[in-house]
A and B are shown apart, each in its own frame.
Chain A
Amino acid sequence: MDQKRSNVTICNDFLLLRTLKTIPPGPLVILLIAVLSSATIAFWPSEEREGLVFWTFAQHHARMYHPAIQDWNERAATSDAEPIQMFVLSMGALNRRTQSGMWAQTATSDLVEIEQPSVARFMAGPVEEVGFYDLTDLLRDEGIYNQLNEPSFAPWTSRGRIFGLPHDVHPVLLCYRADLVEEAGIDVSKIKTWDDFEEAMRPLVNNTDGDGETDRYALGLWYTSARDVEALLLQAGGGTFNAQGESIIASDANTHVIARMVRWCVGPNRIAIDAPEFSPSGNELKLRGSVVAALMPDWLAGVWMNDLSALKGKLKLMPLPAWEEGGRRTSVMGGTMIAIPKTTRDFDSAWAFAKELYLSPVLAQKLFESNHIISPKVGLWGEPYYAVKEPYFSDQQSGMMYIDQAPNVPFRTSSPFHQVAMQQIMDAASALKAYAEANDAYEIETLMPEAKRLLESAEQRIEQEMSRNVFIAGDTMGGADDE
């Protein structure tokens, strides 16, 4: 009995050992693997990030930036500046990783390019909680604000504070099939307004292959394309929010635009076809000649030059027809900024690099020559490369044509409610199209009252949503500087 007690005491002293001995081999192996793998992970030397990390979403941006980064890194080797490592991420991945990093307050990138449609998600919440550095004072103190085209700052401005350096201006022109238009004897110089455009181009809307179905349309745009709708709303002086952050969803300009867009897309006076960008079906329609004209921001001109090279020499550009006599002949579509997340480990180096990259004259030239994008730096607009005759656009000086319209691009909001407000406008356009078909009402005058009613309802909805937001209700959310 005493012997037994003594054994228990000894065993208690080696409880773990005794327990391990009693565990069958299977669980013991599992336990061993768990312990070993945990230890391996815990002690695995983590790879030290060298320099600053820069995320971009476009392969062609990366190709363009590569020499500038190489040059920066060579100089960084002999100075205090941090070298740059660039990574190309898909747009979705870049947005989600940046957002999750901001939410979790973990490091993501030191510099990041954000595209305009994605920016609203980063501006939600109190302005001091935005995950990017506020660059407003630096831009003003260093004189950069005055060097750049002012409207280019708007999408990156929230409640008067600027969170990014603009990459572009993205004015919009109208691109048309010069071969078809000129063959039909249409003089585009007489087209000043959208009314003129409709009247002049209507003869081109017809059946070209003899099967009785219309297969050529004057315009390649559609009421469900947010990009097209937004560009036209902005051109007309409408949009979602004005510079003071007030809703203009139910404005007369918006009402007129969606009524006219619906008329363009359905009914006996239809002149438009849905030929989406970046899609095989849209590209085929353009190559087939089903699209006579399309909205053409500078970046899209670069895309067409690469993706639709067969149209070289068949196209020309002209200012957008205005919504009223003497009105704005351009709009704006898309945009990119470079921003510095608050988790960067070296703001000074990141800021120095951002300025060098985006304000560099060398890069501005490359930006135009490789992607047809004009720089927001006003001082460069006189450079000779912008005046080169472009064979793709029938030897027009396309760069100069974009620059001529650049100062006139409309204001854009960066309200966190912009996307949802745009969605409401799109839904109103869609409902108006259904109304037109149901009532056989295709004239602008007959569509306007219903368009107004739908937009007022959309505006009411957005105002309710804004008033629900406890962080920014009553705040000025627009892009305009409060000062």
Chain B
Amino acid sequence: MSSTTARQYPAWVPYFFLLPFLGVFLVFIAYPMLLSATMAFQQNAGPGVSEPVGLKNFTWMVQDPAFWIAVKNTTIFAAASVFIQLPAALGLALLLNSDKIKGRGLWRMIFFAPVLVGLPFVAILAGLIFEKNTGLLNVTLNALFGFDQEFPWLQEFVMPALIVAAFWMYVGFNMIYFLAALQNVNKDLLEAAQVDGANAWQRFRNVTIPAIKPVAAFVVLLSLIGSFQLFELPYLMLNESAGPENRGLTLVMYLYQQGFDRGDLGYASAVGWVLAVALFAFAIVQSVISKRSEADA
């Protein structure tokens, strides 16, 4: 019945239903991409005033120390996300997946709660916590260990402060992905390994890790992309600035400063394209590594 009905549609009907998506795609994705690709080779003072500059935006980018500071900071943040935050999220997930933990639901909610608060609030709260003289962190450390209450986290140690704030925000979020993956690990395999005499580490390494690998790869990619898009957290924590000596400058903040504070949308487009190509390259590398490890398995 359904196949007969399907044959009665005129050939253009599917395209008719695709029209809304195509319209939105063309107007809000394809056209802006094309336009930004063109603008990357221009200098602008707002969108209405432009001059073609060839490759000068890209050559200036390479020469600009601020760009490299942004690259360095973003890379440090991404590395901290992958090598500190994700292992911690996995550890938490393993802990909260264990039957031995009482009130697991409550603990999961507690660790997930910062995500519900939202990034802007986390940034504002973190800014207050890291405040010198009166910030909760310095006051507590001073009371407990006589720590210097004037310790300038948001001036001298901007990246560690950002990493801690992001850790607080996202460790619970990534924990949920790992928890879902752990709950799908085949229990028969784990029991069989245990019967064969494998200890906890061997079971984790040889059964659990291979089982959660696709999810882990996905979470790593998400974390990398998220890290390279880092903007709101430093922007709000550092009062809409990049901190002293651009210590909190990230690539997207750099793009924002160039495009919206200085009005050079052409240069900002060039930065955007460099960022897009970098993220695309990450995705490709990650995909190749995943496929290779699947083939090896």
**Contact residues of A with B, CB < 8 Å?**
15, 19, 22-23, 27, 34, 92, 96, 99, 102-105, 121, 124-126, 129, 213, 224, 273-274, 279-281, 284-285, 416, 419-420, 426-427, 430-431, 461, 464, 468-471
Stretch at the interface among B99-107, B205-213, B222-230, B257-265: B257-265
Most buried by B among A19, A103, A431, A469: A103
Q: Please, how many angstroms separate the alpha-carbon atoms of A125 and B264 in the complex?
A: 9
Q: Which 8 A-B pairs have the closest CB atoms?
A: A125-B45, A281-B134, A430-B244, A124-B263, A103-B46, A470-B51, A427-B245, A124-B45
| Given known A-B contacts A121-B262, A430-B245, A471 and B46 have beta carbons under 8 A apart | no
Known: A15-B10, A419-B261. A431 touches B245 (CB 8 A): yes
Q: How far is the CB of B57 from chain A (nearest CB, A)?
A: 9
Contact of A103 among B48, B132, B246 (CB under 8 A): B48
C-beta contact mask, B178-215 vs A, less than 8 Å → 1, else 0?
00000000000000000000000000000000000000
Shortest distance from the beta carbon of A232 to any chain B beta carbon, whole Å: 17
Q: Is residue B5 within 8 Å, beta carbon to beta carbon, of the partner chain? A: yes
Q: How far is the CA of A464 from the CA of B135 in the complex (A)?
A: 40
Offer 24 A-B interface pairs, CB within 8 angstroms, sorted by A. Answer: A22-B5, A22-B9, A23-B13, A96-B260, A99-B263, A103-B48, A105-B48, A125-B45, A125-B46, A129-B46, A213-B149, A224-B155, A273-B150, A274-B152, A279-B131, A280-B134, A430-B245, A468-B43, A470-B51, A470-B53, A471-B43, A471-B45, A471-B49, A471-B51
B140, CB-defined interface residue at 8 Å? no
B1-52 interface with A by 8 A CB criterion: 5, 8-10, 13, 17, 20, 43, 45-49, 51
Q: Is B232 an interface residue (CB 8 A)?
A: no
With a cutoff of 8 Å between Cβ atoms, the chain A residues found around residue B63 in the complex are 464
Whether B133 contacts A285 by the Cβ 8 Å rule is yes
Residue among A281, A416, A470 facing the most chain B CB atoms (10 A cut-off): A470
Interface size counted on chain B using CB atoms at 8 A: 37
Q: Is B72 an interface residue (CB 8 A)?
A: no
Chain B 118-149 per-residue mask, 1 if CB under 8 angstroms from chain A, else 0: 00000000000001111100000000000001
Once the chains are docked, how many angstroms separate the CA of A461 from the CA of B245?
A: 14
Task: Looking at the assembled complex, report how far the CB atom of B277 sits from the nearest CB atom of chain A, in whole angstroms.
Answer: 23
Kindly state the separation between the CA atoms of A280 and B47 in the bound complex, as whole angstroms: 40
Shortest B120–chain A CB gap in Å is 13
Contact for B263 among A125, A281, A464, A468, CB less than 8 A: A125
Q: Is B108 an interface residue (CB 8 A)?
A: no
What's the Cα separation between A126 and B263 when bound, in Å? 12
Taken together as a complex, chains A and B put the C-alpha atoms of A342 and B246 apart, in Å, by 35
For residue B2, give the distance in angstroms from its CB to the closest CB of chain A.
10
B294 adjacent to chain A (CB < 8 Å):
no
B280 at the interface (CB under 8 A from A): no
Q: A124-B264, A427-B246, A470-B51 are in contact. List 20 more A-B contacts (CB 8 A).
A: A22-B9, A23-B13, A27-B17, A34-B20, A96-B260, A99-B260, A103-B46, A124-B46, A129-B48, A213-B149, A279-B131, A281-B133, A281-B134, A285-B133, A426-B244, A427-B245, A468-B43, A468-B56, A468-B60, A471-B51
| Chain A residues within an 8 Å CB radius of B132 | 274, 281
Chain B hits for A125, CB < 8 A: 45-46, 49, 263
Contact A126 B20 (CB under 8 A): no
Q: Within B246-267, which residues are at the interface with A (CB < 8 Å)? A: 246, 260-264
Is the pair A469, B43 in contact by a Cβ cutoff of 8 Å?
yes
- Shortest distance from the beta carbon of A13 to any chain B beta carbon, whole Å: 13
A-B contact number at CB 8 A: 83
Residues of B with C-beta under 8 A to A469:
43
Q: Which B residues fall within an 8 A CB radius of A? A: 5, 8-10, 13, 17, 20, 43, 45-49, 51, 53, 56, 60, 63, 65, 131-135, 149-150, 152, 155, 240, 244-246, 260-264
Residue of A nearest to B134 (CB): A281
Nearest CB in chain B to that of A222: its residue = B155
Q: Assuming A129-B45, A280-B134, is B9 touching A19 (CB within 8 A)?
A: yes
Instruction: Check B48 against A19 for contact (C-beta < 8 Å).
Output: no
Chain A residue numbers with a CB within 8 Å of B65 are 461
In angstroms, Cα B152 to Cα A5, docked, is 85
A34 to B24, CA, bound (A): 14
List of B residues within 8 angstroms of A471 by Cβ:
43, 45, 49, 51
Q: Which residues of A contact B48 (CB under 8 A)?
A: 103, 105, 129
CB-based nearest B residue for A430 = B244
| Docked CA distance A96–B46 (Å) | 12
Most chain A Cβ neighbours within 10 Å, of B46, B65, B261:
B46
Nearest-neighbour CB distance to chain A for B22, whole angstroms, equals 14
Chain A residues with Cβ under 8 A from B155's Cβ? 224, 430
Of A15, A121, A281, A470, which is within 8 A of B261 by CB?
A121
- Given known pairs A416-B262, A427-B245, the reply for A470 and B13 (CB within 8 Å) is no
Q: Which residue of A lies closest to B42 (CB)?
A: A470
Contacts of B49 in A (CB 8 A): 125-126, 129, 471
Alpha-carbon distance between A103 and B50 when the two chains are bound, in angstroms: 12
Nearest residue in A to B57 (C-beta to C-beta)?
Answer: A468
In the complex, how many angstroms separate the beta carbon of B7 from the nearest chain A beta carbon?
10
Per the bound structure, the CA–CA distance linking A471 and B51 in Å amounts to 8
User: Which residue of A92, A273, A420 contacts B262 across the interface (Cβ within 8 Å)?
Assistant: A420
CA distance A416 to B43 in the complex (A): 15
CB distance from A226 to the nearest CB of B (A): 8
Smallest Cβ-Cβ distance to B43: which chain A residue: A470
* Neighbour of B46 across the interface among A19, A102, A213, CB < 8 A: A102
Closest Cβ neighbor of A426 among chain B residues: B244
A206 → chain B, closest Cβ, in Å?
16
Given contact pairs A34-B20, A470-B51, A126 touches B9 in the complex (Cβ within 8 A): no
A103 to B264, CA, bound (A): 12
Q: In the complex, what distance in Å separates the CA atom of A136 from the CA atom of B226?
A: 48
Which chain A residues lie closer than 8 Å to B17 at the CB level?
27
Q: Quick check: B134 and A121 within 8 Å, CB to CB?
A: no
Report Cα–Cα, A104/B20, bound state, in Å: 25
For the complex formed, measure the closest distance between the CB of A421 and the CB atoms of chain B, giving whole angstroms.
12
Residues on A with C-beta less than 8 A from B131 are 279, 281
Contacts of A103 in B (CB 8 A): 46-48
Q: How far is the CA of A15 from the CA of B244 in the complex (A)?
A: 68
